[in-house]
Structure 1
Amino acid sequence: TMGAVAVTEQAIINEAHERGFVVPDRKRHEGNTAAAGAYVAYPKKGLHDWIGAIDINSLYPSAIRALNMDPATIVGQLRPDYNDAHVDEAMGNKKSFAEAWEGKFGSTEYQMVMDQDTVDEIVVEWEDARSDEILTGAQIYKKIFLEGNPWMLSANGTIFTYEHKGIIPGLLERWYKERQEMQKIKGEQTTPESKAFWDKRQLVKKINLNSLYGAILNPGCRFFDKRIGQSTTLSGRNIAKFMSSEVNRIITGKKDHVGDSIIYGDTDSVYFSAWPIIKDAVAKGEMEWDKNLCVQLYDNIAEQVNEVFPRHMKEAFNCPRENGEIIQGGREIVAIKGLYITKKRYACLIYDLEGARLDRDGPGKVKAMGLDLKRSDTPKSIQDFLSTILLGVLTGDDRDTVIEKIRDFKQDFKHRPAWEKGTPKRCNNLTKFTEEERRQGKANMPGHVRASMNWNTLKNMNSDKYSQTIMDGQKVIVCKLRANPLGMKSVAYPTDELHIPQWFKDLPFDEGEMETTIIGNKVDNLLGVLDWDLVTDTDTNTTFDSLFTFE
């Protein structure tokens, strides 16, 4: 939001004024301002054992500091002619902007420099008064990496100097130190209240650190510069790829960011497991293995990766060692088991979080990302059920056990009132769509808005003066209907309606369809990747074939 951008912008202005700099006027920005996003890998779907994760400390702020990214430190830019042509071609083939950047860890021009290409020519746009230069990738590599110039090359093809520290990197460095000090003070506190206070203080600094990158990429910010924003994301991609490759090299001996030990990668994190490599040796008794040994191994892997970050930063960007040492990772989790579904959707059972054991009084803590058990359109009872079967899977439940749990819940769910089987939604713009319907006779609108309108219509038809009228922004439960004379496919009711009217209870609810939507689809979304081939149990009335389709 512009509020957050304004706070960051003012902080940069204050920092510049303290150094005696004059801040430039706000510029007009034309053309495409979109920048490449973070690296998110496709996970290796299914269940995995003995998972570890390493994440880089404040990746984007650290990348900005390491490459000294600042409007005043830009020396030049490799004009992205080849890269723009690649993106335009991909988007011409119906790919999205994000898809056009899929699998790229630097601009095309940056890669040509790193490959020391001697064929194609690149235009170097210098920031000072000198004329643009046309050079090959090999010539640019020599100029930046071999001739002793105090320059660094970002993965976006932006050349920065490290002769003097930029305003933005200096501000980030100060905020980072302040946050570390607050975290230290938090650790020294003896009461829950004081710990919570200092935790909030350090969280504010964390938000400041992470929001600065977003502000620089916001065209409304005075310091907006796509070159810096995209240098941050692409250099971050490069660093994350290296971390994954190095983890896989340590475990398997092969440098590969999607190698046998790598499960998933997301922005600043890599999820991995040594288990596929060592399980045979453990089974034969050639190697000891338990929770403590796993923690020790994964801690050691994180330490080894940290040792080589400075070398990579020198080789990839020409960062001086002092700058390269800014990039540091930490072992975040060790999990006994994890379920990976797709990008941004996974769950794992953590027993060690940054050195703190979570399995003292139970199996551990479930970390669930992007799953239906967290979504607001999933009823609380279904969330609890999904959490139960997920925990079961992560603690070793087999297919038959899960089927039995689903069957039991399904039978219990059948006996609930039909209107309790609906889907929670929030009804926005009801007034707008109601007015369009009145003017046009039939207006297109989201299904849950139509269902809310149907409630208001039926309420009036039944002369119901006591039930609530659904208003804009109200939370509702949407219930599907069987064929009826009014042609209504669904109807909603307010979630906070204390008395469900009899006319509503008498409606022809499509309970089978609602059960499929609210249970079957949710379970399929969660466990479909297991390919457990759930089949109909002829001893029950539950038709599992129709409820659960696993690919």
Structure 2
Amino acid sequence: MSIELQKGFLLTRQVQDTRQGMLLTYWLKGEDGPLKITINNELAVFFVEKDHAADAHQFLIQNNIIHQHKSLNLKNFSQNDVDGFYFDKLKTFYKARELLKANDIKCFEDDIRPEDRFLMERFITGAMEFTGVEQNAVGFNQYHQAKARTTNFTPDLSMLSIDLECSFDGDLFSIGAYSDSIKKVFMIGELQTDSADYIEWVEDEYDLLLKFITWLNEVDPDIIIGWNVINFDFKLLQKRCDINNIKFAIGRDGSAPFWRQNRLSPEQNFILIAGRVILDGIDLLKSATYSFPSFSLEYVSQHLLGIGKDIEDVDNRVEEIKRKFLYQKQQLASYNLEDCRLVWLIFEKTQLLDFAVLRSALTGLELDRVGGSVAAFTNLYLPKLHRSGYIAPNMGDGESDLVSPGGYVMDSIPGLYKNVLVLDFKSLYPSIIRTFNIDPMGLIEGLLEQQTERELQNPDIHKTIPGFDGAYFSRDKHFLPKIIESLWAERDKAKKQSNAPLSQAIKIIMNSFYGILGSTGCRFFDPRLSGSITKRSHQLLNQTKDWIEELGYSVIYGDTDSIFVSVGANKTDQQSQSIGKEMMTLINKRMNAELNEKYKIESALEIEFETHFHQFLMPTVRGQDIGTKKRYAGLVGRGEQEKLIFKGLESVRTDWTELAKGFQQTLYLKVFNEEPVEDYILTMVADTLAGKFDDKLIYRKRLRRKLSDYQKNIPPHVKAARHADHLNEKLGKPLRYQNKGWIEYVMTVNGPQVKEHLTSAIDYPLYIERQLGAVADGILPFIGKSFGDITDEQLQLF
């Protein structure tokens, strides 16, 4: 046994059955390189209520299922004692679970995999320290019979960006790789003596694959990144290896990847490579809450870096890549390498690897986990629950007829305003959880305490903290408020250190807790939990509204955690901001006093004065007099700092044209600055009719289903896609729109058509009515004008 403690950060985890029992395997990145540790003698476990345990035991014996049955000092949320059933093989565990379920015996926590349970029960998230018996291995250190515990350790991970080029049918042309110290392209073709030194020429696809696999293992990266890298690049590499009868041996121990499909989305694949992690740029950006109209590498690199790919159009790109492979291989190599570099630069710009590492260290999620909010909550909560004598409920146990409402949205008061202040509750839902001790076990314990008080006929109204829908929460038996409190403190520290990835990771985790408790996909779902959060937020917002109106100001809107206050057109910027700060101080002081008096609790709620709009529009619902919700626009700042902000309006929606967006920006600025608008509107209409804005008339929309799945009420973008693929088929081109994706089209006098197959005249009057007119009539009525009155005479000339 190695006495010295080793440290490492988790890369991959796996469980497998052996003759001796289950073997847990963990690959880590240690201080001196990769580490492989194996742990044996672990058992898989689920729990059964004690009243059913004897029957369960007999069923398993009768079916020759080897197991251990133990009486435990644990109970479920129904206050029934449970026994543990332990299995030395995963196969046996699954067989036992299915047998008992078939005989109507409920198993608890039977969906938690042993390799995950081992970590969570030891509070191991991203890093661990361990001892074990060292074994000989080439390229990494290996230990077996390991014992592990949690620790703090920040890894130095090596990263490599991968991209491949191929024909439309999947025949490989080249494979590129890039890092801050590596430039490499394997290219099929005869040696060209004047070629760049980063190109390695190979004879054919067989040679390409062999040399790439050998080289990759020599470079030995911890992290491989790319764009749709799993579902395209690695899936195709696996397929071409299979066709060429080559072992895709890219694991650190020489093993091939293990693949599995997403049960809910079969087109999505997951890959497990021993000791290496594949991070997809698209998935990771989405996990870090980035949002783009398109997640194409071209769009994201242009948006984030200001640079893009050399080839844009899909049809032309496929043909151009083939042409370059046949006649300009060095240019193709440069293009291949540039794609790798762009992904690398996006990861650097957004600090995505740091984000993934920190998220893993905070929650125990695998580095490559997509989503995973429920799993993160389970990792953090379950071991604490067990140590308090409870096991977790199963999915569906908390379902009832109760309905938890969403965030509170007030009716708005439409109008064109000067001096609107926005006050925002800082992390409202996590603050409510902290303040009112909202917690799954806290609910169970609170209900018990309240029942005991009733039975004693001497109820203490401050024994528990009341929630909604009959919920009561224990004042001292809970975990979630403390988890949030510690995360909150870490986020404040991260902000002070300007650690953006850590701050973002913590924010996402904290904000996910309400969604988890309100999701039927979580084992801790209970509408009394989520309802006690959202209904409390409704109450707090209304209370805040009342306090503000007591001061003589008008609340014109409220949304989830924000209050919009009109303080009067006669105020200067300085006066408005002073009012905002005074209002913030007053509300926080009154909130603290009220909660202490009413519930005997300390408030973690904090409202902040966030924004001063010196010009603000709260529009009406189109065609009606009532105010909108989640839609507004306003001006903040002065001079060079002035900024126009839109929420929910055309300028921030991807399904409106650039014509409408640009028109709205300029028109709103003119209205806010009290400038004439008639000449601008007339010029825009005339220029649109003259064809000067044809490049700005493109609609961009996602096909969210297969084209054949659209049967009724066919929307314009589907009509455009069908028209385009009908023409593609006639021209012998690939059908581009059959299986989801984005489509760009324009409206013509003969209906919607994609821009590359435009055969009819553009329907300019339709654009004027539905784009310019719709935008203008969102704001013009507030200054006593209308788009129709301004343009009718001009349009009659056409």
TM-score by length of 2: 0.48
Structure 2 vs 1, CA of residues 472 and 264 (structure 1 numbering), >3 Å: closer, same or farther?
Answer: same
Deviation at 1:266, TM superposition (A): 0.8
Distance 1:25 1:263, change over 3 A: closer
User: In the alignment, which residue of structure 2 is the partner of 1:167?
Assistant: 479
- 1:243 aligns to what SS in structure 2? helix
Give the fraction of aligned pairs with identical amino acids, expressed as a percent. Answer: 22
After TM superposition, list the pairs within 5 Å mapping 1:32-47 onto structure 2: 32=401, 34-47=403-416
State which of 489, 493, 505 in structure 1 corresponds to 2:754. Answer: 493
Within-5 A mapping of 1:16-27: 16=385, 21-27=389-395
Asked if residue 454 in structure 1 is aligned to residue 732 in structure 2, the reply is: no
Deviation at 1:391, TM superposition (A): 2.2
Match of 1:517 in 2: 770
1:426 to 699, 702, 715: 702
Is the Cα contact below 8 Å between 1:302 and 1:330 reproduced in 2?
yes
8 Å contact from structure 1 (residues 371, 526) kept in 2: no
The Cα offsets for residues 136-177 of structure 1, whole Å up to 9 and x where unpaired, read as xxx9xx9554xxx32222244422231x15111111111111
Change beyond 3 A, Cα 1:451–1:132: farther
Q: Structure 1 residue 213: deviation in Å?
A: 0.8
**How far apart are the structure 2 equivalents of 1:37 and 1:25?**
24
Q: Shift of the alpha carbon at 1:328? A: 1.3
CA pair 522-274 structure 1, distance change in 2 beyond 3 A: closer
8 Å Cα contact 1:350-1:367 kept in structure 2:
yes
Matched, 1:473 2:766: no
Deviations 1:309-343 (CA, angstroms, capped at 9, x unpaired):
0222245xx3324x22x111111011211101210
Q: Return the match for 1:185 from 488, 497, 507.
A: 497
Number of positions where the alignment pairs a residue of Structure 1 with one of Structure 2 = 418
1:205 to 506, 509, 512: 506
Counting helix residues as a fraction of each chain, which structure ranks higher? Answer: 1
SS of 2:410 mapped into structure 1: coil
2:556 aligned residue: 263
The alignment partner of 2:614 has SS state of strand
Partner of 2:589: 307
Distance 1:171 1:233 in 2: 20
Q: Structure 2 CA distance, aligned partners of 1:479 and 1:217?
A: 41
Compared CA separation, residues 390 and 419, structure 1 to 2 (3 A): closer
Deviations 1:397-445, CA, capped at 9 Å, x for gaps? 3xxx2232221111111122796535332234353248x6xxxxxx653
**Structure with more contact order per residue of length (Cα contacts < 8 Å, sep ≥ 6):** 1
Partner of 1:64: 433
- Secondary structure in structure 2 of the residue aligned to 1:24: coil
Q: Normalising to structure 1: TM-score of the pair?
A: 0.68
1-structure distance, mates of 2:694, 2:472? 62
2:789 aligns with 536
Alignment check: 8 A CA contact 1:379 1:423 kept: yes
Bigger CA drift: 332-341 or 466-475? 466-475
SS at match of 1:361: helix
Residue in 1 aligned with 2:466? 153
Deviation at 1:389, TM superposition (A): 1.4
Q: Which of 602, 607, 614 is the equivalent residue of 1:336?
A: 614
Q: Which moved more, 1:373-382 or 1:235-244?
A: 373-382
How far apart in 1 are the matches of 2:698 and 2:672?
28
Q: Distance in 1 between matches of 2:555 and 2:477?
A: 36
RMSD of aligned Cα (Å) = 3.3
- Considering fraction of residues, name the structure with more strand: 2
Summarize the Cα distance change of 1:46–1:491 in structure 2 as closer, same or farther, 3 Å threshold. same
Counterpart contact for 2:449–2:464, Cα < 8 Å: no
| Ranges in structure 2 where 5+ consecutive residues have no aligned partner | 1-369, 620-627
Bigger Rg, which one: 2
1:384 aligned residue (639, 662, 666): 662
Cα 1:339–1:469 shift into 2, 3 Å: same
Quote the Cα distance in structure 2 between the aligned partners of 1:348 and 1:491. 34
Listed as ranges, the gaps of 5+ residues in structure 1 are: 78-125, 187-197, 253-259, 280-288, 352-358, 437-442, 483-488, 547-551
Change (3 A) 1:295 1:537: closer
Which stretch of structure 1 is more off in the superposition, 29-38 or 212-221?
Answer: 29-38
Q: Cα distance, 1:469 vs. partner?
A: 4.6
Cα shift readout 1:376-407 (whole Å, capped 9, x = no counterpart) = 1112233122111122222333xxx2232221
Contact 1:433 1:445 in 2 (8 A): no
- 1:506-543 CA-to-partner distances (Å, cap 9, x unmatched) read x2543322332222223334555655344535895236
For the 8 Å contact 1:428–1:449, the answer to whether it is kept is no
Shift of the alpha carbon at 1:46?
1.4
Partners of 1:418 and 1:405 in 2: CA distance: 15
Quick one: distance in 1 between partners of 2:504 and 2:761? 51
